A and B are shown apart, each in its own frame.
Chain A
Amino acid sequence: MVWRPTLPTKDTPRLEVRKTYKLYVGGAFPRSESGRSYVVTDAKGKFLANASQASRKDARDAVVAARKAFAGWHARTAYNRGQVLYRIAEVMEGRHQQFSLEVSQSEGLSISKARVVVDASIDRWVWYAGWADKLAQVVGSSNPVAGPYFDFSLPEATGVVAVLAPQDSSLLGLTSVIAPAIVSGNTVVAVSSYERPLPAITLGEVMATSDVPGGVVNILTGSASEVGPWLASHMDVNAIDLCGIVDPEEATELEIAAADNLKRVRRPAEEDWSADQGLSRLTQYLELKTVWHPIGV
């Protein structure tokens, strides 16, 4: 038998291997336990993929994974978390082309405009990475109480944060809502844009290869309206970002559900994802701990 090269030629072009887009939960890529998927098309309606449609059970599994990862992630030094976030940016840079294509397809942008979005997303990870070991210095304080006590206040992560990611901005928006939550030591369950989920799953693949411990970021694809209520009412979720909920009445219902265990709620608002972000998303998911200690011989 003669060995024949299989390199593609003009007459026999190579057929691409397509990726299966699955959920990202606890560091693994499972399909939805419900077995459901839904068709994802590009901005012009052309078929791109069948994405997994996350269910209530998937959301609960993701919360379990996020809770399990919280203690370890929160115990990391700020310096270490900063380096891990910076690593995400490094690994994203290597997948620039893939992200650009997916953002272009998902959001109907030209490739050159999509590239700018990917640039901004990577730079945003870098910006947030730098916050890891500076947050306490900017939002913490030493308090000159009128008595012989040393009194200081330190920010601390609140716990598990559910993020209903923006529907429009599939990568930059998603980055802008996940990064500020995890940099301070929270863990996240994110529900991606329904119509534009592909960059989110690729971001999950970046997480899986960037020294981010499994469970720190969990990404569900599917409907925020369907999964959102289960996360909003979940008693082991500490905070929820309602960013991806478009209908104001629906957002109000979720906020009411979230009140059962007094989740910290971020209401949906007009956002310009390309603008520089301030501190508000960082401080949203922080508790402040004040410590008193007597002074005396």
Chain B
Amino acid sequence: MSRFEYAPAPESRAIVDIKSSYGLFINGQFTDATDGKPFKTVSPASEEVLAEVSEAGPADVDKAVRAARKAFEKVWGPMSGKDRAKYLFRIARLIQERSRELAVLESLDNGKPIRESRDVDIPLVAAHFFYYAGWADKLEYAGVGDDPQPWGVAGQVIPWNFPMLMLAWKIAPALAAGNTVVLKPAETTPLTALAFAEICQQADLPPGVVNIVTGAGRTGQALVEHPDVDKVAFTGSTEVGRAIAKSVAGTHKAVTLELGGKAANIVFEDAPIDQTIEGIVNGIFFNQGHVCCAGSRLLVQESVYDEVLARLKRRMGTLRVGDPLDKNTDIGAINSAAQLAKIRELSQIGEDEGAERWSPECELPANGYWFPPTVFTGVSQAHRIAREEIFGPVLSVLTFRTPQEAVEKANNTPFGLSAGIWTDKGSRILWMANQLRAGVVWANTFNRFDPTSPFGGYKESGYGREGGRHGLEAYLAH
């Protein structure tokens, strides 16, 4: 059969204006770091240097926390909820107005396909601010007591997989509840957070309410351990989350952690097959699999295993890997060389432990960090690729015979962030949802997010929820 090739359909970069270097955003101003060295942020699709960014040292973090404290005590804390709401609505609107620019910037810095940054990330960012804006003057209705109060200064550390969306998940509820924030974006993806700092300026947000300190782990640690931070919110690896939980032990700090996952995506024999295949693909290949709630363990009922695998492989063969700014791209670049090395290492371990590896024929660009969509079959529960979070486009397939067995296998993990169920039977969906020890359960869909819908994990996937009414709870003393 002849095949029609896609012509390139690149989104224009002209819409973004990246400065050659960025300072830290402290007290409403971009300022130079006092004790850190600048570092470079690159486009993972080309390894091109995009900008030089300041590394905040402990003295800079201290300055940012002081600015946040002052803003909390003098301006943001005493401000009426109504006015806080209006600032957040302004921010939501500014994000909507600048959405294409932010989407291109996100794809450049992160490597994710423009289709996703344009249609998923940035619209959700605006929606999140819009949603929590509406809560700012309604806190007494949030179900956490008659007179809920903010904690004070929130120190927030976010990952590189959804840079701006994670920023929104952190900042929107914190500000709505009346806290001020110091946020550290990930080392490899600081640019949209810095663009957000500009948006705060355009919104005339009072200085010090939002502070952005860029840097790596050292900066994050200084922030989390700063004695004048009242609330710590972290999204990232379980390993770092554990370290944070230990470091705040015995302090007054409130903590929420959104950590790793190893979600089971469970396919029953009566599942609607076409939607299921799309759901499996979306579950693991969305955002190059850099998703804490990715459906990385596919559990297929034995009776439909052959059909599901054949269709899945055929569908994987049509995925387009390449330029993140091409509107036809399905899978973009791996975010960093370090992450690519980790994915390669775990995949090699998968082969070494005896699982069978398969990828479609797939031409990868010469420069940048790339990994083809990959599926492992013949995986047992003991294999490391079935137990550890790979955080890449790598799917492990296991089988089951009965619903009880599916539940046991699905829950056989230290994680508990999300799960998927594919079946035509409503009662079974609800029975499975009851049995699964996971914070989010998707039925006949996967990787759905909405500002009104709480998100977060059981077990070692962390604690606290983000989104929805429950997301406010993390930022209110009650």
Residues on A lying within 8 angstroms of B by beta carbon are 78-79, 82-83, 86, 123, 126-127, 129-134, 137-138, 150, 279, 293-297
| Stretch in contact with the other chain, from B167-175, B328-336, B423-431 | B423-431
What is the distance, in angstroms, from B413's C-beta to the closest C-beta of chain A?
Answer: 21
Contacts of A130 in B (CB 8 A): 85, 133-138
What is the distance, in angstroms, from B279's C-beta to the closest C-beta of chain A?
Answer: 21
Which residue from B131, B137, B143, B451 sits with its C-beta under 8 Å from A127?
A: B137
Measured between alpha carbons, how far is A79 from B132 in the docked complex, in Å?
A: 12
Contact B469 A137 (CB under 8 A): yes
Contacts of B82 in A (CB 8 A): 123, 126-127
Which of A86, A295, A297 has the most chain B CB within a 10 Å cutoff?
Answer: A297
Contact B141 A134 (CB under 8 A): yes
Contacts of A150 in B (CB 8 A): 430
Which residue from A82, A138, A279, A297 sits with its C-beta under 8 Å from B143?
A: A138
Contact A79 B427 (CB under 8 A): no
Contact A293 B426 (CB under 8 A): yes
Contact B131 A296 (CB under 8 A): no
Q: Is B127 interfacial (CB 8 A cutoff)?
A: yes
Selected A-B contacts with CB under 8 Å, 21 pairs: A79-B130, A79-B452, A83-B130, A86-B130, A126-B82, A130-B133, A130-B135, A130-B136, A133-B131, A133-B451, A133-B452, A134-B134, A137-B468, A138-B469, A150-B430, A294-B427, A295-B430, A296-B427, A297-B427, A297-B428, A297-B431
Contact A126 B86 (CB under 8 A): yes
Contacts of A131 in B (CB 8 A): 134, 138
Q: Is B403 interfacial (CB 8 A cutoff)?
A: yes
Contacts of B469 in A (CB 8 A): 134, 137-138
What is the distance, in angstroms, from A116's C-beta to the closest C-beta of chain B?
Answer: 14
Contacts of B431 in A (CB 8 A): 295-297
Residues on B lying within 8 angstroms of A by beta carbon are 82, 85-86, 89, 127, 130-131, 133-138, 141, 143, 403-404, 426-428, 430-431, 434, 451-452, 468-469
Contacts of B430 in A (CB 8 A): 150, 293-296
- Contacts A134-B469, A137-B469, A297-B403 given; does A82 touch B427 at CB 8 Å: no
Measured between alpha carbons, how far is A295 from B127 in the docked complex, in Å?
A: 33
Measured between alpha carbons, how far is A137 from B426 in the docked complex, in Å?
A: 23
Task: Output the nearest chain A residue to B137 by Cβ-Cβ distance.
Answer: A127
What is the distance, in angstroms, from A141's C-beta to the closest C-beta of chain B?
Answer: 11
Measured between alpha carbons, how far is A74 from B82 in the docked complex, in Å?
A: 27
Measured between alpha carbons, how far is A129 from B427 in the docked complex, in Å?
A: 36
What is the distance, in angstroms, from B457's C-beta to the closest C-beta of chain A?
Answer: 20
Contacts of A132 in B (CB 8 A): 134
Contacts of B404 in A (CB 8 A): 297
Measured between alpha carbons, how far is A297 from B429 in the docked complex, in Å?
A: 8
Contacts of A293 in B (CB 8 A): 426-427, 430
Contacts of A123 in B (CB 8 A): 82
Contacts of B468 in A (CB 8 A): 137
Contacts of A86 in B (CB 8 A): 89, 130
Which residue from A129, A294, A296, A297 sits with its C-beta under 8 Å from B134?
A: A129
**Which 10 pairs between the two chains have the least Cβ-Cβ distance?**
A130-B134, A295-B430, A294-B427, A296-B427, A297-B403, A137-B469, A150-B430, A295-B431, A138-B141, A297-B431
Measured between alpha carbons, how far is A116 from B133 in the docked complex, in Å?
A: 22
Contact A134 B138 (CB under 8 A): yes
Contacts of A297 in B (CB 8 A): 403-404, 427-428, 431
Measured between alpha carbons, how far is A131 from B141 in the docked complex, in Å?
A: 11
What is the distance, in angstroms, from B189's C-beta to the closest C-beta of chain A?
Answer: 26
Task: Output the nearest chain A residue to B127 by Cβ-Cβ distance.
Answer: A79
